[in-house]
Amino acid sequence: MLRVGLTGGIAAGKSLAAGRLRAMGAVVIDADALAREVVEPGTEGLAEVLAAFGGHLATADGSLDRRALGDIIFGDPRARERLNGILHPRIRALAEARTAEAPADAVVVEDLPLLVETGQVARFHLVVVIDAPEDQRIDRMVRLRGMTPEAALSRLRAQLGPDERNAAADVVIDNAGSEADTLAHLEALWHSRILPFNANLLAGVPAVRDPLDPVGSDPTWPAQAARLSARLRRVDPRVLDVEHIGPAAVPGLRAPDVLEFRLMVATPADAAALQPLLTTAGFPPALGQPGAEPAAGHGRLGFHSSADPGRAAEVHLELAGAGVPAGTHDPR
């Protein structure tokens, strides 16, 4: 099962993307729908919200007056943080339950507006951000939601900025053009990356890649490496540390576009136990695969490679404290 996180700022076009991904076969879990579900009449979530913000927020039929609650939390960071503390754990638990109900071979897309803000990037194999220029988003809110330009701008400014959100993405889809262009980009992503990624996960094999020639140093490599490192660290507590190593870890150095990592474990038994967990996380064993050989001295306890056809990455399992193998690049 491939897990994709889909996010974007207000009026960027996230719902358009979610609808198209659903039409192409993804199981889409809508966090906004879950947020309504966890505060339905009779739920513990609703009871806790009313206790925190006042019983007057209950309507005549016992449901939550969401507009009145929005008026309370908008512009009040403390109130918003308190509400998030009530809702987000329940939403996340419900999303996990819905994911568990999906077919084992599914592509599961979580449509999650606050994916980056709530620190959930590492939960997903792939994070897709839908982006659009501020003026277009304001225009959409005015035309489609009946908001004033001032109110629309206030809503935009209350959210995470696009630069920070986009920096957390594996893929950014620009929705500045026509709807047809955006959908075409999504379809290309689905067929060229998402479906092959899922197929590799299900088969337990890395993505097949031709040998890569050195290229100019990419300024986005450190951010990409940080995302993959976070995913590797959350695989299991037996992962003691993850280091970005190899030529691409050296600033300014021409290198093949491959991100390499040293994953530290305490014992060989821990390395063996991690192998299936790394496969589930998107890094199947690579030894024996065509063209997949670790650098000299690396991969002494295991050598894994990314199943993502859009991001070449290699993981070398080694004992903590064993030192840096001779002849390798180390960013320290």
Q: Is residue 15 a known part of a binding site?
A: yes
Residue 298: per-residue pLDDT: 53
Q: Which two tokens stand for residue 35?
A: 């947020």
- Residue ranges per structural domain of the chain: 2-202, 221-319
Q: What is the pLDDT of residue 324?
A: 53
User: CATH fold of 2-202, please?
Assistant: Rossmann fold (3.40.50)
Q: Is residue 14 marked as binding?
A: yes
Digitized pLDDT (tens) for each residue of the chain, 332 residues in all: 999 999 999 999 999 999 999 999 999 999 999 999 999 999 999 999 999 999 999 999 999 999 899 888 877 889 989 999 999 999 999 999 999 999 999 999 999 999 998 899 999 999 999 999 999 999 999 998 888 999 889 888 888 899 999 999 999 999 998 999 999 999 999 999 999 999 999 999 999 888 889 999 999 999 999 999 999 999 999 999 999 999 999 999 999 999 999 999 999 999 999 999 999 999 999 876 544 455 555 557 889 999 999 999 999 999 987 765 533 555 43
> Is 313 labeled as ligand-binding?
no
| Residue 293: per-residue pLDDT | 52
Say how many C-beta atoms besides its own lie within 10 A of residue 104's C-beta.
6
Residue with tokens 């035309």: 143
pLDDT of residue 158: 81
pLDDT recorded at residue 75: 75
Half-sphere exposure for 222 (CA within 13 Å, toward CB): 6
Specify the pTM: 0.88
Residue 30 has a pLDDT of: 96
In CATH terms, 221-319 corresponds, of 3.40.920.10, 3.30.460.10, 3.90.1200.10, 3.40.630.30, to 3.30.460.10
Report pLDDT for 73.
86
Candidates 53, 20, 18; CA nearest to 32 is 18
User: Residue 53 has which token pair?
Assistant: 């913000």
Distances (CA, A) of 232 to 48, 155, 203, 239, 331: 35, 35, 20, 8, 19
Q: Can you give the pLDDT at residue 38?
A: 96
pLDDT at position 283, please?
97
272 is in an annotated binding site: no
Predicted local distance difference test score (pLDDT) of residue 321: 79
Q: Which residues on neighbouring strands pair with residue 111, listed in sequence order?
A: 6, 30
Q: Is 63 annotated as a binding residue?
A: no
Interatomic CA distance for residues 108 and 130, integer angstroms: 17
Known binder of ligand: residue 169? no
Instruction: State the burial class of residue 332 (Cβ atoms within 10 Å of its Cβ: 0-12, 13-18, 19+).
Output: exposed
